[in-house]
Amino acid sequence: MNWLDRQSFLGLKSDERLAGATIGLVGLGGGNSHVAQQSAHLGIGGFVLIDDDIITLTNLNRLVGGKRDDVELKRPKVEIAARVILEVNPDARITKALARWQEVGHLLKGCDVIVGGLDHIGSKDELEAFCRRFMIPYIDMGMDVTPLPDRSQSLVSGQVVLSMPGEPCLRCLQLITDERLKAEAQRYGAAGSRPQVVWPNGVLASTAVGLVVQLLTPWMAQPPRSAYFAYDANLGTVVPSDRLARRQGRPCTHYPAKAVGDPMFDVRRYLERLDSSPRQDDGSTKD
């Protein structure tokens, strides 16, 4: 029996497409630890895992697959994610990098889609620019906790955005602004740890994985060209944001069409890769 039989509704040869695809996960903390696990269960065959951090005790409240032993051994987050994936799919092709993504960007160029699990606005801006440069679909996740004025309660919110070449970017949607970048730079190093908890990360990650599936399989007759889902944990809702609706029909001015693409990159190969057999990457590992 095929272990993926119950997702045959995703369309003809969806298993082969998922097995042949490679997903890049940048930042393996809360959100992307869920994405790694769910992607493995879906049968996605290739992974590029990038994070320069090790697990700590305070990560255990949200990092899927993290254990007390990992904390004691100071295990890298990429190793934990790889273990989670291989426990589900021993045949997965995994490339790991214990580094900042900017130092190993070449590893991401062959990805079919990249999911960012980054805290800092500046890092999101840089990763999106990279994806636009190489015409790779980028899915960004973000979570915020805002205390109410009387400090008796907090508002928990987040968003998942699909950024595709030619479509609205994070700047178009006002998620990245020069003012926010400046404010972040001014408080850099003194901001402390950002509040995080496991269930909002899971909701955001599941929404992101749904977009990945829409991009990689024939499930949707017309895969989304862009998406912006706003999450309100207090109300328990995930809804399309009106920010994207207000951008309807307006081209992205931050990344003009002529400014994207690599001279050595053939955009036609992006669609061809989805129909090809699973790739074997020389740099992949299974440990």
The rounded average pLDDT for each run of 10 residues, N- to C-terminus, in the chain (287 residues) is: 92 96 96 98 98 96 97 98 98 97 96 95 95 95 87 90 94 94 73 76 98 96 93 96 89 76 46 46 38
**Contact call for residues 191 and 264 (beta carbons, < 8 A):** no
From residue 105, how far is each of 27, 102, 175 by CA, in Å? 13, 5, 23
**Pairwise CA distance, residues 98 & 116, whole Å:** 16
Q: What is the pLDDT of residue 188?
A: 56
Per-residue DSSP letters for 154-208?
EEEEEEEEEE-TTS--TTTTTSS-HHHHHHHHHHTTTS-PPP--HHHHHHHHHHH
Q: What is the pLDDT of residue 184?
A: 84
Q: What is the pLDDT of residue 268?
A: 44
DSSP state of 82: H
Q: What is the pLDDT of residue 257?
A: 67
Q: How far apart are the first and last CA of the chain?
A: 27
Phi, psi of 48 (to 5 degrees): -115, 115
Q: What is the pLDDT of residue 95?
A: 98
Q: What is the pLDDT of residue 263?
A: 45
From residue 209, how far is each of 12, 110, 162 by CA, in Å? 19, 19, 11
Closest alpha carbon to 114 in 64, 49, 34 = 49
Q: What is the pLDDT of residue 131?
A: 96
Q: What is the pLDDT of residue 275?
A: 52
**Contact call for residues 106 and 136 (beta carbons, < 8 A):** no
- Amino acid in the structure at residue 283: G
Q: What is the pLDDT of residue 282?
A: 37
Query: CATH topology for 12-254?
Result: Rossmann fold (3.40.50)
